[in-house]
Amino acid sequence: MTEPDPPLFYKCHIFVCCNKRPDGHPRGSCAARGSEKLRDYMKARMKELRVPQSRVNSAGCLERCEFGPALVIYPEGVWYQARTNADIDEILDTHILHGGRVARLMLTEHDVPPPKA
Ligand code: FES
């Protein structure tokens, strides 16, 4: 019998890919698509909204570069592609505050990078 997991430290833990590749890289990168500003905006809004037990962290490459700017929300493990502050607002309002999903921005099991050559 295994020990039960400890309670979640963060009830909402968001990782925003801020990986940056050189200009012209074939895969591009989330930072090149503006993810750092989106992360900053999301952090600021989360603070304003006072979401308890939550954190927004920068992440290195999450390996879904082609679908970036990519972010993932745990513990649900739901991924989104957010391009604008309005996208972030919609994710915060619908997903974080109301437990819903923003279907138009969600990455699915079909959103996978092309196989490596
Ligand atoms: S650069 Fe963001 S997922 Fe790879």
Task: Identify which of 15, 20, 23, 29 to mutate to test ligand 1's pocket (most ligand atoms within 8 A of the CB).
Answer: 29
- Is the pTM higher than 0.85? yes
Q: What is the predicted pLDDT for the residue at 114? A: 86
What is the predicted pLDDT for the residue at 102?
Answer: 98
Residue 64 scores a pLDDT above 80: yes
**What is the whole-number distance in angstroms between the Cα of residue 22 and the centre of ligand 1?**
13
Which ligand 1 atom minimizes the distance to the CA of 35? 2
Looking at the predicted structure, is the pLDDT value of residue 48 above 80? yes
pLDDT value, residue 116: 79
Can you name the residues that pair with 59 across neighbouring β-strands?
17
Does residue 6 carry a pLDDT above 80?
yes
What the block records as the tokens of 52 is 């308890």
Q: Which helix (H) or strand (E) holds 40?
A: helix 35-49
Average pLDDT, the chain: 96
Question: 72 CB less than 6 Å from ligand 1?
Answer: no
Residue 104 in tokens: 């138009």
Under 8 Å CB-to-CB from 106, ≥6 apart: which residues?
A: 78, 79, 80
Give the domains, in start order, of the chain with CATH numbers: 12-107 (3.40.30.10)
Q: Where are the beta strands (DSSP E) in 10-113?
A: 12-17, 54-59, 70-74, 78-81, 106-107
The pLDDT assigned to 106 comes to 98
CA angle (103, 60, 58) in 5-degree steps: 70
CA end-to-end distance (rounded Å), the chain: 43
Is a pLDDT exceeding 80 seen at residue 117?
no
Per residue in 8-20, pLDDT tens? 999 999 999 999 9
How much distance in Å is there from the Cα of 114 to the middle of ligand 1? 13
The rounded distance, in Å, linking the Cα atoms of 42 and 16 is: 9
Tokens of 1: 């019998």
Q: Per-residue pLDDT for 54 more than 80?
A: yes
Confidence check: pLDDT of 30 > 90: yes
Region 67-91: mean pLDDT is 98
Determine if ligand 1 sits within 6 Å of the CB of residue 17. yes
Q: Is the CB–ligand 1 distance for residue 61 below 6 Å?
A: yes
Backbone φ and ψ for 106, nearest 5 degrees, come out as -75, 140
